[in-house]
Amino acid sequence: MTDNVDGNRESFRPHLASTAVSVAALRDWFVREVLPLEAALTQFLRHNWRNKSDIPDLVQEVYARVYEAARKDLPQQPRAFVFTTAQNLLIDRMRREKIVQIEAVSELDTLAIAADEPSPDRTAIAKDELRRLQAALDRLAPRTREVVTLRRIEGLSRAEIAQRLCITEVTVKWHLNEGLRALADDLYGEAASSRSKK
Amino acid sequence: MSAEEIQSRAADWVNRHRDSGEWTPDDQAALDAWLAQSPEHVVAYWRLDAAWERTQRLVALRPTKPQQPRSPVWRNLVRFAAAFVVVAAGTGAAFYFSKPAAPEARQFATEVGARKTIKLPDGSEIELNTNSRLRIAPGPNPRMAWLDKGEAYFRIQHDSARPFVLMVQGRRLVDLGTEFLVKTEPKRLEVALVAGRAQLDSPNDPTQEPAVLTPGDVAIATANAISVTAKSTKALSDELSWRQGVLVFKYTTLADAAAEFNRYNYKKIVIADPKIAQLTIVGTFPSNDVSAFTDAAQAIFGLKIRNTDGEIDITR
């Protein structure tokens, strides 16, 4: 699993080469341990932060902080680490914005940080990855889905897709970018947890 | 930059890096510079890159060529048919029984990358895979064949009075009213039974016990032994995917996957670096589309693909 990531990435990301943990190991850890927590993390942030439009920025900042810390040493308990980081971030933000969010603070106090064990969700995901991917694909906007399908499944080039759908290559690119983001949100984000509870 | 803008940029980088087919050192330098700007860029990139990797499995949904529809008559006949696949690779194999039938036997051969279906008078069908050679005994109703080279899938009409006999690498495979799948490599023969029964023996070495195979059994015959283990029917059907013109890899090492592609294509994939050779891949690829495979290797592992006249080198 670890070897799936090109170990040489350090060589072409010299700014990262000085970290104590190898970039390949760090990326692998991040993808394996942190990204699957995204749905729970987003939920936690929503519960504890009033301005919902801040959520994507908060998630990103939690990731950035986790990444910075993990460069020195990979946290042994990723789940606890991620949620503690999120908690600290919210407290920092509240101080900075001089907000007193009574209910937020009280919820932070009662936050139960679950032990690090693979959740049933993750096992289920591993079991039926292809079906899950297909469902995520099906949930894309129709045109985006069409473009992504033609590129990723049918293997058509961007130029061929542009020709077939009578759109510009720039539009093809836009759909591919949007599609990738939507798929990532579906696979890691909030939508993932609400669906898997059904 | 907001998370929205960063994600948008990251998606663009991932798609360009993974998917565009044109990735220059300048692009890499520009990406490195962007990643160096902030940890937010790195995590956004990793997240979307990981999503790209996961969705790469969608390739498995690629439609394969539709199977030839069978007539109802044929479907009925199939119930009584024995089907098996044999691979006889390697030029060094000794074809003990080759000579006696050679003068009159009808020969069928396929080029690298080609497939061919041979219909026998009794309704049996034999599909030859890439770079293979099969000889069929003379006569109006042949019940014997020799697989000299390559791989073949056999759907044989069962006839208890005249069992179908296939000679391969000096071994004899006798259909006992079954469906089975057989595979061999250089100096190694693999027979996997799908349904019914078949017997594998060694006529030129009476000291070796014949192996009688039942469904799920996989017999592996080397120079002087036959051993029998079990395999799932799903794994067996993956091995038959060449009949639809695709290769199915399930955590296959790049070395093995490349070797498999090399059976179908004149231009050979070369992986000199043993570390690269050990990387594993999951996916379904058209057997004649090496670039689909090398693109994936490039995209998933960030490997370099060098296309020369005679070969395709995969390096770091």
User: What is the residue-wise DSSP string for B237-306?
Assistant: HHHTGGGGTEEEEEEEEHHHHHHHHHHH-SSEEE---HHHHT-EEEEEEETT-HHHHHHHHHHHH--EEE
Q: How far is CA B147 from CA A140, A176, B89, B179, in A?
A: 50, 48, 9, 18
Tokens encoding B70: 């069978």
The Cα of B50 is separated from the nearest Cα of chain A by a number of Å equal to 7
Chain A CB contacts of B43 below 8 Å: 30, 60, 63-64, 66-67
Q: Count CB neighbours of A125 within 10 A.
A: 17
> Is this complex's ipTM strictly greater than 0.85?
no
Contact A15 B11 (CB under 8 A): no
Residues A91/A83, Cβ–Cβ less than 8 Å = no
Contact status of A10 with chain B (Cβ, < 8 Å): no
Interface test with A, best of B8, B38, B55 (most A CBs within 10 A): B55
The pLDDT value given to residue B182: 65
User: Using CB atoms and an 8 Å cut-off, which of residues 69-128 of chain A contact chain B?
Assistant: none
Residues A138/A195, Cβ–Cβ less than 8 Å = no
Residue B189 pairs in a beta bridge with B184, B221
Of A19-23, B116-120, B187-191, B204-208, highest mean pLDDT:
B116-120
Whole-number mean pLDDT of chain A? 75
Residue at token pair 């379904």: B284
Enumerate residues 6+ apart whose C-beta is below 8 A from A186: A136, A139, A192
Side chain identity, residue A126:
A
pLDDT beyond 60 at B178: yes
The pLDDT value given to residue B60: 67
Contact B280 A4 (CB under 8 A): yes
> What average pLDDT score do residues B258-262 get?
89
Beta strand B311-315 with B304-307 is: antiparallel
pLDDT in tens, B207-238: 777 788 877 777 888 777 778 887 776 777 77
Closest CA to A55 of A41, A37, A70: A41
pLDDT tens per residue across all 198 residues of chain A: 333 333 333 333 434 445 577 888 899 899 999 999 999 899 888 888 888 888 999 999 999 999 999 988 888 889 989 988 998 888 888 777 665 544 444 444 444 444 444 454 544 444 477 788 888 998 999 999 999 998 888 878 888 888 888 888 899 999 999 999 999 999 888 655 444 433
Element (H, E) at A44: helix A38-48
Residues B185/B256, Cβ–Cβ less than 8 Å = no
Residues B197/B214, Cβ–Cβ less than 8 Å = yes
- Is the pTM of the predicted complex or chain greater than 0.80? no
| Cross-chain CB nearest to A64 (options B8, B40, B302) | B40
Count each helix (H run) and each strand (E run) in chain B, helices first: 9, 19
Residue at token pair 């490599």: B185
> What average pLDDT score do residues B134-160 get?
82
Cα–Cα distance for residue pair B133/B33, rounded to 1 Å: 55
Chain B CB contacts of A181 below 8 Å: 7-8, 11, 48
Enumerate residues 6+ apart whose C-beta is below 8 A from B295: B21, B305
Residues B55/A183, Cβ–Cβ less than 8 Å = yes
Cα–Cα distance for residue pair B242/B247, rounded to 1 Å: 6
- Helical ranges in chain B per DSSP H: 3-19, 25-37, 39-55, 72-79, 98-101, 233-239, 254-264, 274-277, 290-301
Cα–Cα distance for residue pair B313/B306, rounded to 1 Å: 5
